[in-house]
């Protein structure tokens, strides 16, 4: 039960009047407004002492106990006594302004900022990567809009653009906002969203617009601040009054001041998604909710007309909306805006088909570039998708997002989508294709979830999360729990919400805000519409009352099953012996239970009776005092809580009088209890710019932080080549690229190099900032703190830069919730430009090296030390998005603005940086790229590293001959260029309490065995385990419809690199051929290793054949040793068995017409790769069968489905091309007969059939061999 805190005074002060005859404190009925109280000649204004340090954590007032009177303000809670030692006087009509600890007089601008919606700004972090128009698309409509905005002589100053759902209005609005920003004419923008509670109504629109305009000019800002100070309740007034006070009058003041020409003032005001105000009106909303939403939309349009247009202000207002009731009636003949507005009907006037074709064509070409196959799609495919879209841009966006999933086959996914498109000639149903897409995805997710968890209703739980996006609403009480909190309230296990949406990622995601709270985000509003409409969702529709009923039952279950000892509870809520999430959910269910019970129209009496009989109300009674003391109940919310409970009890009396009577007793008690605590208020916290910045940095990420003491760095005389190249690049101001990306395999020494460079730059006084990410440190395993931390370090270099940053933060305290590009622009670009303009320091002398290490460690990776722990795939995608956002921000802010900084980034070649640097990538042309593993042979450096440290050990133990140069050479060869290998070996050998000679011998001769205590490569094994786990989880999450085994396929690829040589097999396939033999789609091997690029690569030889290359021998050793790989180990016989099964599947599913095969193998109507793989499967099947076990059932299935007959039909074309000779054919028959002999005892019928074929093939092969020898003899005689 969330509601805003109740403040008796907008400044946070409580005007209380104390009378000499009273024993307790109460608000005076005659209390006047603030100015009257202060100026009254009969009263004296006293203020509590306040703390001027705004960063100090402020505490709420202690709870008032009955009859405590003025003593509560004496010693209680540590507040000083006002009249200590005084006597002999009386108080009459004494008015006291109680100033809560740290509160100040009303600050208008600060109060305004408490009433804005930062998420609604066009460049807010919450809207990172919003939809916008591609280059060369929507050209005509963008041109028309921009021409209207920039034409000051146009008769209308209001533009209304209406269009159907999914027609691309928001993308157009975002594009216009960015163009206006570049032209410096954007005054303000507000993007409504029905799924974001902070911007799904009109209450914050005017303050947010005033806030943005205030950022443009100081006089406007001071006028707004003065207006809010004068009337702190302006935000509760009508929109017209707000607009008059916060926009019209401040602008008139600015115009009268003549400080700036109004023609030069930014004049474009953009409002997107008017139809999303209060959620979209639909048949599933209550009629009152729909009318309230329509009234708000109508009120906003009227306010714009009366305040901006009628007052002849020079603003150009651009509103985009679906043609819902409010804007439709305002624009129709006789409507309020009919004559005043310029109207663009997007769907009618502009055919978006061409733009959608360009949109898909461009993105499909990018996919082709990524997968190396430009012909993976056809123009016919694009035309089919555009027809299916029915002008709905959101359809093609949804389709593209599904097809372009990074770890899936785009060819396979395109085929799936094309089978869902509508047929020609069907009745007009513009959303039918989208509905079918949503239905298919939802059904797949439902079946997948319920197949694992039979007891839960997938659709009911998902509907609960969907409703939670905008909050659960009863009688104006809104609760909007985070995703993890809602799962707890539903009595589900931690992380259940992630499992719930695991098959819905093309439609939804959990979006995490700056406080780490996640909520469901629907990518497309049309999906929300689908879920709300029973006529569209059909059997997938879940009624809202059913969700509320389920939640109410879960709330009661949650309270009853609470494991606390209710006879000995602590004094404070935070001291309850429960996990934090459990405490939060328990608080929430107590808060919300009365409103949910009262809002239900379905009878729930039996569950309430059971709750009563099990002491549920008594448990609430025991817990409420803890909630009071923590200031969790205020007068407004507590009153509503009691009203809801009493109303429900009144309805319950007729059916369950005994339970109702018990509840009534508790309700009366709680009413009195609440009355005692209603004077508690929350403190308000104000922030200072620089100190607020300090709260948003990561000190552990600095190159010389205490947390990184003893950080790895390069030895003297090692890595000299690469260090010289990097330092030369940093110090060369004329180098064309100002960004250096160094990528290298895991363990190749990137962080040691970065640390060394940081120290060298520090000595040369050119280090501007450094940030070392680490997956194991929560303070530096995301990009959230990177920009503020870099700004902090730069601020230490120059006072003017620091003051500019502090001013920017004071100006916009919400800057840390914006996108990284906006943060970088505000906290780095603009302060540096101010410094450059001041000429206090030459930009060439300002420290210019910015270092970022471990980009791949963003959001951390799995840190499992034993066993397999699943990696959260959404976290991984979120990490990749953050990495991509940071790289894009660096390009747009630092490189495109031609700042003199040199940015050096080190990372494993993971997805984000890999795609940025590949052909067509954002950084391909602007970055200098060092591929560490390929370019630099670290063998010499590793020798120096080990020799120096072994000599130090010799000095310590008094024996310089305890090692040999041969020992060092053996370790370097085993390291395969991998610095982490020799570092791990040295750490093990140098343990002070052990013999280094003995440990060196162990490392040199170590053969792993199960159960042995000695594990010299434990650190290395943990690294490999983490990387493999992350790749496994990511691959299998995307590939859920095939249910492929990542580890099995990787093992096959690993074995294939050296060739399959067991059981007389000589199979040495290239990677693409092996994928085909494994019945995988084309280029599946690329997808398989997409998250292993720091350990492996596909290397192409001179003939164009690619094979897996492992960068480090130690990784190959790890994969082969069960005692090291543990749960990640795959036995080789499992791979052979799987390949044998795939060979049989390959032959059975061969699409040839076996009754009319051509004479020659090369004439088979199959793609070349398919012919090669089919030949290999026929050739190798007997030898694989002879060497594997537990495959009888598959062989029987193969036999029953005509597999041997198909081989019989294929062998003659193989004979004729000379592919079988006497030696190989004899082995082929021997292997087949050997397998058949073993099969007889278990599957005699199948063995008999195979024997018949084997006998025939023996004779055929003999005849062919004789003919072949005869042909050769004839040729020799000629």
pLDDT digits (tens, 9 = 90+) for 784-833: 999 999 999 999 998 888 888 988 898 888 899 899 999 999 999 999 98
DSSP string, 946-982: HHHHHHHHHHHHT-TTSS-HHHHHHHHHHHTT-HHHH
> In angstroms, rounded to a whole number, what is the distance separating the alpha carbons of residues 722 and 906?
13
Residues in CB range of 473: below 8 A, 6 or more apart: none
3-state secondary structure of 450: helix
Of 797, 839, 845, 804, which is closest to residue 825 (Cα–Cα)? 804
Per-residue pLDDT band at 1223 (split at 50, 70, 90):
low
Fold match between domain 108-349 and domain 690-861+871-935: yes
Of 1074, 1107, 1113, 1072, which is closest to residue 1095 (Cα–Cα)? 1113
Q: What is the 3-state secondary structure (H, E, C) of 296-361?
A: HHHHHHHHHHHHHHCCCCCCEEEEEECCCHHHHHHHCCCCCCCCCEEEEEHHHHCCCHHHHHHHHH
Of 757, 763, 786, 734, which is closest to residue 900 (Cα–Cα)? 734
List for the chain the helix, strand, coil content (%; round to 5).
Answer: 55, 10, 40
> Which CATH number is 108-349's, of 2.60.40, 3.40.50, 1.20.120, 1.10.3470?
3.40.50
Of 213, 169, 198, which is closest to residue 327 (Cα–Cα)? 169
Of 1057, 1081, 1061, which is closest to residue 1069 (Cα–Cα)? 1057
Mean pLDDT of 1171-1177: 92
pLDDT attached to residue 533: 87
> In angstroms, rounded to a whole number, what is the distance separating the alpha carbons of residues 543 and 463?
9
Contact 344, 331 (CB under 8 A): no
Mean pLDDT of 552-571: 93
Q: What pLDDT, in 10s, does the model give residues 692-728?
A: 999 999 999 999 998 888 888 888 888 888 999 999 9
* Mean residue pLDDT across the chain: 81
Contact 594, 645 (CB under 8 A): yes
- Regarding predicted confidence, which is higher, 453 or 984? 984
What are the backbone angles phi and psi of residue 753, rounded to the nearest 5°? -65, -45
Contact 489, 654 (CB under 8 A): no
Alpha helices in 127-235 (DSSP H): 139-150, 169-182, 205-214, 218-230
Chain centroid offset of residue 15 CA: 46
* β-strand partners of 930: 742
| Burial classification of residue 791, based on how many CB atoms lie within 10 Å of its CB (0-12 exposed, 13-18 middle, 19 or more buried) | buried
Mean pLDDT of 506-511: 79
> In angstroms, rounded to a whole number, what is the distance separating the alpha carbons of residues 549 and 539?
19
> In angstroms, rounded to a whole number, what is the distance separating the alpha carbons of residues 145 and 166?
19
Q: What is the 3-state secondary structure (H, E, C) of 1145-1206?
A: HHHHCCCCCCCCCCCCHHHCCCCHHHHHHHHHHHHHHHHHHHHCCCCHHHHHHHHHCCHHHH
Most confident of 204-213, 423-432, 721-730, 1082-1091: 204-213
3-state secondary structure of 1010: coil
Q: What pLDDT, in 10s, does the model give residues 481-507?
A: 888 999 999 998 888 898 888 778 767
The first and second tokens of residue 11, run together, are 């400044």
Q: What pLDDT, in 10s, does the model give residues 247-300?
A: 999 999 888 887 776 677 899 999 999 988 874 434 344 456 667 888 999 999
* β-strand partners of 777: none
Query: Which H/E stretch holds residue 720?
Result: helix 720-731
* β-strand partners of 270: 189, 318
What topology is assigned to 690-861+871-935 in CATH? Rossmann fold (3.40.50)
pLDDT attached to residue 135: 84
Domain range annotation of the chain = 108-349, 352-428, 430-475+482-541, 547-681, 690-861+871-935, 1015-1113+1121-1128, 1134-1276
Contact 913, 907 (CB under 8 A): yes
Count, residues in the chain: 1278
Contact 1078, 1049 (CB under 8 A): yes
pLDDT attached to residue 288: 66
Q: What pLDDT, in 10s, does the model give residues 588-632?
A: 999 889 988 988 877 788 999 999 999 999 999 999 888 876 655
| Burial classification of residue 1171, based on how many CB atoms lie within 10 Å of its CB (0-12 exposed, 13-18 middle, 19 or more buried) | middle
Is pLDDT above 90 for 560? yes
Q: What pLDDT, in 10s, does the model give residues 996-1030?
A: 898 898 888 876 655 555 567 777 888 788 889 88
Q: What pLDDT, in 10s, does the model give residues 99-138?
A: 443 444 568 999 999 999 999 999 999 888 898 998 888 8
Sole residue written with tokens 């039996």: 606
Is pLDDT above 80 for 911? yes
Contact 873, 1039 (CB under 8 A): no
C-alpha distances in Å from residue 252, one per residue of 154, 184, 257, 380, 475: 22, 21, 9, 58, 41
Contact 198, 469 (CB under 8 A): no
Q: What pLDDT, in 10s, does the model give residues 546-559?
A: 999 999 999 999 99
C-alpha distances in Å from residue 1047, one per residue of 407, 467, 1023, 1035: 15, 39, 16, 10
3-state secondary structure of 97: strand
The first and second tokens of residue 359, run together, are 């949109």
Chain centroid offset of residue 872 CA: 11
Per-residue pLDDT band at 1219 (split at 50, 70, 90):
low
Q: What is the number of other CB atoms lying within 10 angstroms of the CB of residue 566?
A: 12
Q: What pLDDT, in 10s, does the model give residues 521-534?
A: 887 777 888 898 88
Q: What pLDDT, in 10s, does the model give residues 1108-1143?
A: 988 777 888 899 889 889 999 999 999 999 999 999
> In angstroms, rounded to a whole number, what is the distance separating the alpha carbons of residues 289 and 294?
9
Is pLDDT above 50 for 84? no
> In angstroms, rounded to a whole number, what is the distance separating the alpha carbons of residues 1143 and 1135?
12
> In angstroms, rounded to a whole number, what is the distance separating the alpha carbons of residues 1056 and 1061?
10
């Amino acid at each position: 039960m969330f509601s805003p805190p109740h403040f008796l005074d907008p400044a946070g002060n409580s005007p209380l009047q104390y009378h000499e005859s009273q024993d307790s404190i109460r608000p005076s009925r005659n209390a006047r407004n603030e100015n009257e109280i202060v100026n009254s000649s009969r009263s004296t204004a006293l203020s509590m002492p306040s703390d001027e340090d705004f960063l100090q954590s402020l505490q709420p007032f202690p709870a008032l106990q009955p009859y405590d009177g003025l003593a509560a303000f004496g010693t209680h809670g540590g507040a000083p006594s006002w009249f200590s030692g005084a006597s002999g006087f009386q108080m009459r009509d004494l008015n006291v302004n109680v100033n809560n600890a740290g509160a100040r007089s009303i600050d208008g601008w600060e109060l305004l900022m408490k009433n804005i919606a930062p998420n609604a700004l066009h460049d807010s972090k919450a809207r990172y990567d919003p939809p916008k128009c591609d280059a060369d698309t929507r050209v005509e409509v963008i041109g028309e809009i921009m021409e209207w905005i920039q034409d000051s002589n146009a008769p209308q100053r209001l533009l209304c653009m209406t269009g159907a759902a999914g027609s691309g209005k928001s993308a157009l609005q975002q594009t216009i906002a960015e163009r206006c920003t570049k032209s410096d004419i954007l005054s303000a923008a507000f993007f409504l969203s029905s799924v974001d509670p902070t911007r799904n109504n009109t209450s914050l629109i005017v303050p947010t617009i005033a806030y943005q305009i205030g950022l443009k000019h100081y006089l406007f800002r001071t006028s707004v601040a003065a207006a809010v100070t004068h009337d702190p309740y302006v935000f509760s007034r009508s929109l017209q009054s707000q607009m008059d006070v916060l926009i019209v009058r401040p602008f008139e003041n600015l115009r009268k001041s003549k400080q700036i020409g109004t023609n030069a003032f930014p004049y474009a005001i953009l409002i997107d998604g008017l139809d999303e105000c209060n959620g979209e009106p639909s048949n599933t909303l209550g009629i009152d909710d729909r009318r309230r939403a329509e009234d708000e939309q109508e009120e906003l349009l009227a306010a714009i007309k009366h305040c901006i247009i009628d007052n002849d202000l020079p603003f150009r207002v651009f509103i985009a909306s679906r043609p819902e009731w409010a804007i439709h009636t305002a624009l129709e003949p006789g409507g309020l805006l009919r004559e005043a507005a310029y109207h663009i009907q997007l769907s009618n006037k502009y055919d978006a088909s061409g733009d959608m074709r360009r949109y898909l064509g461009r993105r499909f070409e990018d996919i082709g570039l990524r997968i190396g196959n430009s012909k993976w799609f056809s123009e016919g495919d694009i035309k089919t998708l555009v027809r299916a879209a029915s002008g709905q841009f959101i359809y093609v966006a949804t389709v593209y997002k599904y097809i372009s999933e990074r770890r899936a086959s785009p060819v396979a996914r395109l085929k799936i989508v094309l089978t869902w498109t509508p047929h020609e000639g069907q009745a007009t149903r513009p959303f039918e294709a989208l509905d079918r897409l949503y239905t298919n995805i939802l059904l797949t997710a439902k079946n997948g979830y319920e197949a694992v968890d039979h007891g839960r209703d997938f659709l009911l739980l998902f509907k609960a999360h969907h409703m939670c996006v905008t909050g659960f609403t009863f009688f104006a009480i809104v609760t909007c729990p985070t995703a993890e909190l809602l799962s707890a309230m539903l009595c589900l296990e931690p992380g259940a919400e992630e499992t719930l949406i695991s098959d819905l990622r093309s439609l939804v995601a959990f979006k995490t805000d700056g406080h780490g709270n996640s909520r469901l985000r629907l990518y497309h509003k049309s999906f929300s519409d689908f879920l709300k409409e029973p006529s569209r969702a059909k059997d997938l529709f879940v009624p809202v009352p059913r969700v509320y009923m389920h939640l109410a039952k879960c709330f009661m279950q949650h309270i009853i099953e609470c494991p606390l000892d209710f006879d000995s509870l602590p004094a404070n809520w935070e001291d309850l012996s429960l996990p934090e999430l459990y405490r939060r959910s328990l608080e929430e269910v107590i808060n919300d239970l009365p409103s949910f019970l009262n809002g239900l129209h379905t009878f729930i009496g039996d569950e309430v009776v059971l709750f009563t009989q099990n002491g549920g109300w008594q448990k609430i009674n025991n817990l409420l005092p803890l909630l009071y003391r923590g200031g969790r109940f205020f007068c407004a919310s507590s009153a509503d809580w009691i009203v809801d409970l009493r109303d429900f009890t009144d309805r319950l009396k007729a059916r369950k009088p005994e339970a109702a009577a018990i509840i009534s007793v508790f309700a009366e008690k709680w009413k009195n209890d609440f009355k005692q605590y209603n004077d508690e208020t929350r403190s308000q916290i104000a922030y200072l710019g620089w100190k607020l910045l300090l709260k948003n940095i990561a000190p552990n990420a600095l190159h010389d932080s205490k947390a990184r003491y003893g950080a790895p760095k390069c030895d003297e005389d090692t890595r000299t080549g690469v260090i010289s190249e990097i330092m030369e690049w940093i110090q060369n101001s004329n180098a064309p690229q100002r960004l250096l990306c160094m990528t290298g395999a895991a363990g190749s020494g990137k962080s040691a190099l970065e640390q060394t460079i940081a120290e060298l730059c520090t000595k040369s006084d050119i280090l501007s900032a450094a940030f070392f990410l680490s997956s194991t440190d929560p303070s530096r395993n995301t990009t959230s703190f990177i920009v503020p931390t870099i700004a902090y370090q730069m601020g230490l270099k120059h006072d003017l830069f620091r003051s500019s940053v502090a001013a920017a933060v004071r100006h916009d305290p919400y800057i840390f919730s914006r996108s990284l590009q906006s943060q970088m622009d505000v906290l780095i670009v603009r302060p540096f430009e101010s410094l450059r303009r001041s000429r206090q320091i030459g930009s060439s002398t300002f420290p210019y090296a910015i270092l970022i290490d471990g980009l791949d460690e963003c959001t951390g990776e799995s840190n499992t030390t034993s066993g397999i722990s699943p990696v959260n795939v959404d976290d991984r995608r979120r990490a990749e998005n953050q990495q991509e956002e940071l790289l894009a921000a660096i390009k747009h802010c630092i490189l495109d603005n031609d700042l003199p900084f040199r940015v050096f980034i080190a990372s494993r070649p993971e997805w984000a940086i890999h795609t940025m640097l590949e052909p067509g990538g954002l950084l391909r042309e602007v970055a200098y790229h060092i591929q560490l593993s390929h370019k630099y042979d670290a063998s010499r450096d590793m020798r120096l590293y080990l020799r120096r440290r072994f000599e130090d050990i010799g000095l310590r133990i008094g024996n310089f001959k305890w090692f040999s140069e041969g020992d060092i050479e053996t370790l370097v060869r085993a390291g395969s260029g991998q610095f982490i290998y020799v570092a791990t070996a040295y750490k093990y050998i140098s343990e002070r309490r052990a013999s280094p000679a003995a440990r060196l011998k162990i490392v040199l001769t170590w053969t792993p065995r199960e159960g042995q205590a000695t594990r010299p490569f434990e650190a290395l094994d943990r690294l490999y385990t983490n990387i493999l786990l992350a790749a496994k989880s990511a691959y299998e999450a995307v590939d859920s419809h095939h249910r492929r085994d990542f580890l099995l396929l990787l093992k096959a690829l690993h074995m294939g690199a050296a060739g399959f040589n067991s059981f007389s097999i000589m199979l040495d396939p290239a990677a693409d051929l092996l994928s085909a033999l494994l019945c995988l789609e084309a280029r599946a091997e690329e997808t398989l290793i997409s998250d292993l690029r720091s350990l492996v690569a596909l290397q192409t030889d001179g003939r164009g054949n690619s094979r897996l290359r492992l960068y480090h021998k130690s990784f190959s050793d790890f994969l082969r040793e069960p005692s090291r790989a543990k749960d990640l180990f795959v036995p080789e016989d499992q791979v052979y068995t799987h390949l044998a099964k795939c060979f049989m599947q390959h032959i059975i599913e061969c699409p040839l017409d076996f009754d009319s095969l051509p004479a020659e193998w090369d004439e088979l109507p199959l793609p070349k790769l398919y012919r090669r793989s089919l030949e290999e499967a026929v050739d190798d099947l007997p030898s694989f069968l002879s060497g594997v076990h537990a495959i009888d059932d598959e062989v029987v299935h193969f036999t029953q489905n005509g597999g041997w007959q198909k081989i019989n039909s294929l062998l003659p074309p193989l004979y004729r091309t000379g592919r079988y000779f006497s030696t190989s054919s004899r082995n082929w028959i021997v292997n087949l007969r050997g397998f058949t002999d073993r099969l007889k005892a278990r599957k005699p019928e199948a063995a008999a059939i195979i024997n018949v074929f084997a006998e025939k093939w023996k004779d055929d092969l003999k005849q062919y061999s004789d003919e072949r020898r005869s042909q050769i003899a004839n040729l020799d005689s000629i």
